[in-house]
Structure formats: structure tokens, C-alpha cells
Amino acid sequence: MQALHTINDIRSALKQARRAVEQTKLTSTVGMIPTMGYLHEGHMSLIRRAKSECDLVVVSIFVNPLQFGPTEDFDKYPRDAERDLRLAEEAGADFVFMPSVQEMYPAPIKTKVIVTSITDVLCGASRPGHFDGVATVVTKLFHIVQPDQAYFGMKDAQQVAVIEQFTADLNSPVRIVRCETLREPDGLAMSSRNVYLNEEQRKQAVVLIETLRRIDDWVAEPGMTIEKLTQHIRGNIESAPLARIDYAEIRTYPGLEPVASMEEWHANQPILVALAVKFGGTRLIDNRIFG
């Protein structure tokens, strides 16, 4: 595995590696896993899947300042390059691209890739500009690496919807592969931000997945409505005393339109139930897609 820090280096390394593959096969395929580092088992499962489907696997590690708000955790976002390299290699990556902020933004950027409407809700509502930053940096990374497919975890379901939207709208040649959320043994969705949780918060954080798992039962109750279902969801989360709900919403997926009735729930599947809950200063998200 090679670690590369500049755009020129990753481009020429990939060119050479593709050429080597094409000595024996007609075409080469490159799979990419864009990450912000501090890799965990979730990222590793994406890398393993890419490795099983592509000739060459590139992991990018870049904590993108553009997608953090001024009061968010850009500076304290956890970083551990050495450990990341070890884990990426273990999972089967061929290249790790880890550019500096200076390499990615050598001058003030005047261009933005913006996605409208589906970015105004859920995480977009409380994190203005976040998805512009995501769409812009993912466009940059795709242009640098030029992968055939890119792998994203469904924990960030809205992010996946946004990335599918702009790659389709802009005719990007990159195929987006949705991958299932990986979970800790007690069900907590894996996230680099889980390290922020103290012991008591970590214990209570399991309420997100427990709530999502109870939805089938609630939906089966006679006379259920979207309003009541939302109340059940909120009530269940609030049973954890440290939980403060940012949002708990029911929407179509990937269009992220509101769902007005249980008739719509059954007719317009897939349906996303998306949660964002704060424990102290740490904001966790999780979701489940029905149908």
C-alpha cells in the first residue's frame, strides 16, 4: 500500500497501477472510499467491499474544513494518521490519499457545488452550508482520483442522497455504492465521533438503534398515524435522560419529502426514519430505511 500526499502523486501512481492491471485485463476498475479518517470497522467494511469488487482501491483521508460550520468540531475532529494507514492496509487498500488543506485549497475557493431542496432538511437544516461543502469536496476528490465506483455508508443517509443527486445531475461517471451501516455489538452505529462520548453517554446512546428497532411494532399498531409514530419515536429517545433531540423525522428516500399519512408510508416506500440526537456536545445520527 502507498500513502500519497499530493494530487500529482496520486494521479501518477493510479495511472501506472491502472496500466499494470491493463496488461492482463482489458480494463481496470478503481474503487474509492472518501473518508475524514479516524477509521473504524465501518470504513474497513467499505474498503473490504471495494477490494472484492475492484482491481484497485483508494481511500482518501481528508478532514474537509468546508463542511464544518464555524461553531463545529473541525479543530477537535479526531485524527490519527498512523493508525489509519495501518487499518486501511489491513482492510486491503492499495492507495491512501491524504492531502493537506493547502494541497486541496491552495487559494480561496470561488466555486461551490450546491444541491438544493434535499439539503434544506434534516442535517442540512441545523448545519447550513454543510452539504455544499460535502458536494464540493467529493466533486474535487472524484476529479482527482477518477474512480469507477465510490462507497458510502448509509449511516449518513442524507449525505448518500445528496451525493447520488449531484452525481446524477452532473452526469458524473462515478457509480455510487450504498453500504449498510456497521454497528457496535450493542447496536450503536459506528462513527468517528463516538470517541467523544463519556461512559454514561455511550451507554445511553444505544437508545437510537433501540428506537429504530421498535418502529415495526408501532407501525403494526391499529390506528397508527405519522403523528403518533413520531411521538413514539421522540418519547422513546427522551427516555434516555441525557438525550437531546435535534430531529426525528419520517421522509421519503432519497427524495426526502415529508410523509403525511400511514397510507403514504405504505405507498411511497422506501421511507427513511432519521434521527439526530445530542449527548452533551456530541451529535449522533442514525436512521433506518423501510421498504
Residue in 43, 130, 143, 266 annotated catalytic = 43
SS (H, E, C) 120-183: CCCHHHHCCCHHHHHHHHHHHHHHHHCCCEEEEEHHHHHHHHHHHHHHHHCCCCCEEEEECCCE
CB of 228 to a copy of itself, least distance (A): 32
Measuring CA to CA, how many Å separate 239 from each of 61, 207, 221, 242? Answer: 37, 8, 20, 9
Which of 20, 109, 245, 260: binder of a copy of itself (CB under 8 A)? 109
Which one of the spans 135-143, 150-158, 214-222, 234-242 is the region binding a copy of itself (CB under 8 A)? 135-143
- Paired with 278 in beta bridges are 244, 283
> According to the annotation, is 38 in a ligand binding site?
yes
Half-sphere exposure of residue 7: CA atoms within 13 angstroms, side-chain side: 12
Nearer to a copy of itself, 11 or 40 (CB): 11
Which of 1, 2, 7, 13: binder of a copy of itself (CB under 8 A)? 7
φ, ψ for residue 242 (rounded to 5)?
-90, -5
Nearer to a copy of itself, 127 or 140 (CB): 140
Q: Does 136 bind a copy of itself (CB under 8 A)?
A: yes
CB of 125 to a copy of itself, least distance (A): 16
d(CA 157, CA 124): 12
Which of 29, 146, 252, 268: binder of a copy of itself (CB under 8 A)? 146
Torsion 174-180-185-191 (CA) sign:
positive
Measuring CA to CA, how many Å separate 45 from each of 41, 60, 109, 263, 265? Answer: 6, 15, 33, 36, 31
Binding mask 162-201 for a copy of itself (x = CB under 8 A): ---xx--xxxxx----------------------------
> According to the annotation, is 43 in a ligand binding site?
yes
Query: Catalytic site residue 5?
Result: no
> According to the annotation, is 214 in a ligand binding site?
no
Measuring CA to CA, how many Å separate 113 from each of 3, 133, 139, 165, 269? Answer: 28, 8, 8, 11, 29
Q: Does 252 bind a copy of itself (CB under 8 A)?
A: no
Which one of the spans 49-57, 115-123, 213-221, 224-232 is the region binding a copy of itself (CB under 8 A)? 115-123
Q: Does 159 bind a copy of itself (CB under 8 A)?
A: no
Nearer to a copy of itself, 47 or 113 (CB): 113
- Paired with 180 in beta bridges are none
Neighbours of 75 (CB within 10 A): 8
d(CA 286, CA 12): 38
Residues that bind a copy of itself (CB under 8 A): 7, 11, 109-118, 135-136, 139-140, 143-144, 146, 165-166, 169-173
**Which active-site residues does the annotation give?**
43
Q: Show binding-site residues for (R)-pantoate.
A: 67, 159
Cite the annotated binding site by residue number. 36-43, 67, 153-156, 159, 182, 190-193
